[in-house]
């Protein structure tokens, strides 16, 4: 079990595009160690998704794992542990919906971000098999947030109204009950 350091906003790696992960290296010991480290680190931090650049590994690999029941983002639909290698997103419907996002690399803050709510993702799974999956609602937001990390973007880049960027305590005091 290895919990890696999550780098924080200001670290240049979070503003750098990651390289494609070599397909031939999927399922090698190096790859399996990376995935296990990411999962251990995600669990230790109590998050729901993590991208490799957040532990300063500059490859296009992201994981998402949302358990049933309450989390720091409220009561969410579950997403089983999923590994995405070299993902590509296609927006299926342009209508957007906003959620209060947070990020392990931007600790202590929440920001309201609108994103498309119906997407298709083409990617390689942990066995190197090509997969195509559709996501809607909050899961679509989480997927887009994680994949942004692979191209050097953070959720704060998408905040349209700077008044809707908040510390967590103030978010809970003033904004949480106003959510739909
Ligand atoms: Ni993040």
CA of 22 to the centre of ligand 1 (A): 23
Q: What is the pLDDT of residue 177?
A: 82
Q: Is 25 helix (H, G, I), strand (E, B) or coil?
A: helix
Report the alpha-carbon distance of residue 54 to residue 27 in Å, rounded.
21
| 10-residue averages of pLDDT along the chain (180 residues) | 96 98 96 98 96 98 88 74 98 96 98 97 97 95 98 98 97 83
Compute CA 32 distance to the chain's CA centroid, rounded to the nearest angstrom: 19
CA of 103 to the centre of ligand 1 (A): 4
Q: Which of 57, 146, 160, 170 is catalytic?
A: 146
Q: What is the pLDDT of residue 68?
A: 80
68 catalytic? Reply is no
Q: What is the pLDDT of residue 64?
A: 97
Q: Which residues are CB-neighbours of 127 under 8 A, at least 6 positions away?
A: 26, 27
Question: Nearest to residue 55, comparing CAs of 107, 14, 112?
Answer: 14
Q: What is the pLDDT of residue 67?
A: 85
Q: What is the pLDDT of residue 74?
A: 63
The CATH class of 12-178 is alpha beta
Q: Is 83 helix (H, G, I), strand (E, B) or coil?
A: strand
CA of 47 to the centre of ligand 1 (A): 9
Contact 123, 87 (CB under 8 A): yes
Contact 77, 65 (CB under 8 A): no
Report the alpha-carbon distance of residue 150 to residue 180 in Å, rounded.
30
Percent helix, percent strand, percent coil in the chain, to nearest 5: 30, 40, 30
Strands annotated E in 9-128: 49-51, 61-66, 69-71, 74-76, 79-101, 109-124
CA of 154 to the centre of ligand 1 (A): 7
CA of 146 to the centre of ligand 1 (A): 6
Q: What is the pLDDT of residue 78?
A: 87
The whole model's pTM is what? 0.94
Q: What is the pLDDT of residue 72?
A: 65
């Amino acid at each position: 079990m290895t919990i890696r350091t999550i780098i924080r906003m200001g670290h240049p790696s979070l503003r750098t595009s990651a390289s494609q992960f070599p397909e031939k290296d999927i399922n090698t010991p190096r790859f399996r160690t990376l995935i296990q480290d990411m999962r251990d680190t995600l669990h230790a931090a109590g998050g729901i998704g993590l991208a490799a650049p957040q532990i300063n590994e500059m490859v296009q690999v992201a994981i998402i794992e949302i358990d049933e029941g309450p989390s720091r983002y409220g009561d969410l639909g579950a997403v089983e542990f999923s590994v995405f290698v070299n993902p590509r997103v296609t927006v299926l419907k342009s209508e957007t919906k906003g959620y209060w996002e947070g990020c392990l690399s931007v600790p202590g803050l929440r920001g309201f971000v609108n994103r498309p709510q119906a997407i298709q993702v083409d990617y390689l799974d942990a066995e190197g098999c090509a997969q195509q999956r559709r996501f809607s609602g909050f899961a679509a937001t989480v997927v887009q947030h994680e994949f942004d990390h692979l191209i050097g973007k953070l959720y704060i880049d998408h905040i349209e109204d700077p008044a809707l960027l908040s510390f967590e305590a103030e978010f809970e005091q003033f904004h949480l009950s106003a959510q739909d």
